[in-house]
């Protein structure tokens, strides 16, 4: 049975911060302190530990003990069995009391001004969603800032940039976006999803056409760690793609013939198909038989390079030998580029 520790004060919080936890003991203290020292008061913190087998909870509870004045606004949920990040994210939404929702990953850091500044912009601009820039950092890279956009942005254009049908890349994370809770009412998440789950939720929210404003300030600090799922080519990635693609196909049915959004979702599916091709867990033939209907939609994605598109096009056209040759060359190219980038960021 899950163990839930709940403290609830008499005053409703302005913002609910949802922090999924799984084996983050090395980073838990730094993350928690950055949350508890926020300049905005009246914030609810919901920590959801998904059956960690390290000392994440012990570290968290030690930090919580140093902030007794926040005890009424800190909730710690403990899972007895691992349920996955998607479940933790949606559980947090169901528990949240705040008018506004934002996420934080337990290995990241939040600028101490972040929530006050984002909430202030939401109030002044009457926005439904407020985003900010991100700062990437980590033991193996030199810190750098990822600028998103500045000011108001049409939600359709934001969908296109997140999904890849626009050349401008915008991050689909939920951790750098303060979102009005009312937009979460009908958001669904497929079971077993542990990759791209933030994008799947965000797409559903943006399809409601909310008012979106971005702050040109890196208020969220994203820690880059080795061995993340996004860099993994294995059966796990393969399985994730097989969950995501049909989910997106169903989501597209609710677009009401909005061509730009349908094209954007196709672009995201193309990106996932390319990951599927590179997962090394399925044969080219099975991918061709299942997904060759997308062979004429590859150009909907503007963020894959010409060689990646050529690789995928060959597979979806049934030219497996050519596709294998292009894929081999691409993998060598990726390793060279990654080595150069790693050296430049050190």
pLDDT at 104: 98
How do residues 219-235 score in pLDDT, each as one tens digit?
A: 999 999 875 444 444 56
Q: For residues 165 and 79, state if they share a domain.
A: yes
Pair (24, 142) in one structural domain: yes
Q: What is the pLDDT of residue 345?
A: 54
Q: Of the candidates 223, 244, 262, which is a domain's last residue?
A: 223
pLDDT tens track for 123-157 = 999 999 999 999 999 988 889 999 999 999 999 99
194, 245: one domain: no
From 223, 243, 273, give the residue that closes a domain.
223
Q: Give the length of the chain.
A: 346
For residue 42, the model assigns a pLDDT of 94
Q: Which of 36-40, 235-239, 274-278 has the lowest mean pLDDT?
A: 235-239
The answer to whether residues 120 and 205 belong to one domain is yes
Residues 176 and 27 in one domain: yes
φ and ψ of 211, to 5 deg: -80, 125
pLDDT surpasses 90 at 343: no
Co-location of 218 and 247 in the same domain: no
From residue 106, how far is each of 92, 215, 219, 222 by CA, in Å? 14, 23, 16, 10
Mean pLDDT within 162-174: 96
The reply to whether 319 and 238 lie within a common domain is: yes
Q: Which residues of 238-264 are buried (b: 16+ CB within 10 A; e: fewer)?
A: bbbbbbbbebbeebbeebeebeebbbb
**268-275 mean pLDDT:** 96
At residue 6 the predicted structure's pLDDT band, cuts being 50, 70 and 90, is very low
Residues 6+ apart with CB under 8 A from 184: 93, 101, 201, 205
Same domain, 84 and 117: yes
Boundary residue ending a domain (223, 253, 285) = 223
């Amino acid at each position: 049975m899950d163990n839930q520790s709940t403290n609830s004060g008499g005053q409703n919080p302005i913002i609910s911060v949802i922090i999924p936890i799984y084996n983050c003991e090395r980073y838990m203290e730094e993350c928690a302190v950055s949350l508890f020292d926020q300049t905005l008061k009246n914030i609810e913190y919901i920590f959801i530990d998904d059956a960690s087998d390290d000392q994440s909870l012990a570290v968290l509870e030690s930090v919580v003990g140093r902030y007794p004045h926040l005890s009424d606004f800190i909730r710690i949920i403990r899972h007895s069995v691992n349920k996955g990040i998607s479940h933790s994210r949606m559980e947090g939404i169901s528990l949240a009391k705040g008018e506004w929702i934002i996420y934080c990953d337990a290995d990241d850091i939040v600028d101490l001004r972040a929530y006050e500044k984002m909430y202030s912009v939401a109030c002044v601009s009457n926005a439904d969603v407020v985003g900010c820039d991100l700062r990437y950092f980590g033991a193996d890279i030199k810190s750098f800032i990822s600028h998103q956009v500045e000011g108001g942005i049409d939600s359709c254009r934001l969908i296109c940039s997140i999904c890849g049908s626009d050349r401008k890349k915008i991050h689909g994370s939920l951790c750098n976006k303060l979102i009005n809770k009312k937009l979460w009412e009908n958001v669904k998440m497929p079971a077993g999803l542990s990759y791209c789950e933030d994008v799947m939720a965000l797409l559903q929210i943006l399809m409601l056409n909310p008012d979106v404003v971005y702050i040109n300030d890196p208020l969220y600090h994203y820690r880059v760690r080795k061995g993340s799922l996004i860099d993994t080519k294995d059966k796990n990635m393969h399985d994730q793609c097989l969950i995501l693609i049909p989910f997106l196909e169903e989501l597209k049915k609710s677009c009401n013939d909005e061509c730009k959004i349908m094209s954007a979702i196709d672009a995201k599916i193309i990106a996932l198909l390319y990951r599927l091709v590179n997962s090394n867990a399925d044969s080219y033939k099975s991918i061709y038989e299942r997904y060759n209907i997308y062979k004429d939609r590859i150009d909907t994605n503007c963020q894959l390079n010409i060689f990646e598109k050529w690789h995928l096009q060959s597979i979806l056209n049934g030219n497996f030998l050519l596709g294998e040759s292009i894929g081999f060359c691409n993998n060598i190219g990726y390793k060279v580029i990654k080595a150069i980038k790693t050296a430049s960021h050190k």
